[in-house]
Structure 1
């Protein structure tokens, strides 16, 4: 299953965006208002839960300086990745595209597609909060 949300222009350099997304504790800033739990487990791993949803543990899997940050599920039971692609538009502006990739059966995909899409759209719109 592949989900991509609209790219978001951010008034920060590609390096600033990359540094922000590479520091996993910053994801708390991007989370939706209905977050129930956010806990940093180590420098590359955090877990979070949205109200009414199971806990999800994400781990920083890959980093390509100033271009891409890839987070993945810490569990192999539901393998997926969440990728932030960063493109410099100018010295002080970047474009960030978020995408989700996962292997799910048809029933699971049908159930999670809308919540994941909404979650990613919230993360994307909250990129304005990068400090």
Structure 2
């Protein structure tokens, strides 16, 4: 399953956006209102839970400054990645798009596609205000 957020314009340089997203504690400010738990576990790992959903641990897997950050599932029964791609528009402006990829059975896809789509859209649209 591959899901994409809309491309979001940010009036910051790609490096500023990258630096913000590379600091995992900043993800707390991007989370939706229905978050029930957020905890930084390590310099590259955090745990979060949304109301009615199981806890998820994300770990920073890859960084390509200033254009890409890959977070992936750290443990658990499902393997997926959340990829932030940062593109330069001009000197003081960039675009960010979040991609969610995971290998799920068709039943799981039916259950999680809508909430995951909404989740990555919320994360992406929160970036310009949070930085």
Tell me the TM-score range normalised by the shorter chain. over 0.9
Distance in 2 separating the partners of 1:58 and 1:106: 23
Report whether the alignment pairs 1:61 with 2:57: no
In structure 1, what is the Cα distance between the partners aligned to 2:129 and 2:61? 23
For the residue of structure 2 that corresponds to 1:82, the secondary structure is: strand
Runs of 4+ that moved beyond 3 A: none
Match in the other structure for 1:74: 74
**Offset of residue 5 of structure 1:** 1.4
Secondary structure of the residue aligned to 1:54 is coil
TM-score (norm 2): 0.97
> Where do 5+ consecutive residues of structure 1 fail to align?
none
Please give the TM-score of this superposition, normalised by the length of structure 1: 0.97
1:96 alignment counterpart: 96
Which residue does the alignment assign to 1:109? Answer: 109
Q: Secondary structure at the match of 2:21?
A: helix
8 A Cα contact 1:29 1:129, kept in partner = no
1:129 Cα offset (Å)? 2.2
Query: C-alpha separation between the residues in 2 aligned to 1:5 and 1:62?
Result: 20
TM-fit CA distance, 1:130:
3.2
Gaps of 5+ in 2: none
Aligned to 1:27: 27
User: How many residues are aligned here?
Assistant: 131
User: What RMSD in Å do the two structures reach over aligned CA positions?
Assistant: 0.8
Task: Give 2:125's aligned residue.
Answer: 125
CA distance in 2, matches of 1:66, 1:88: 9
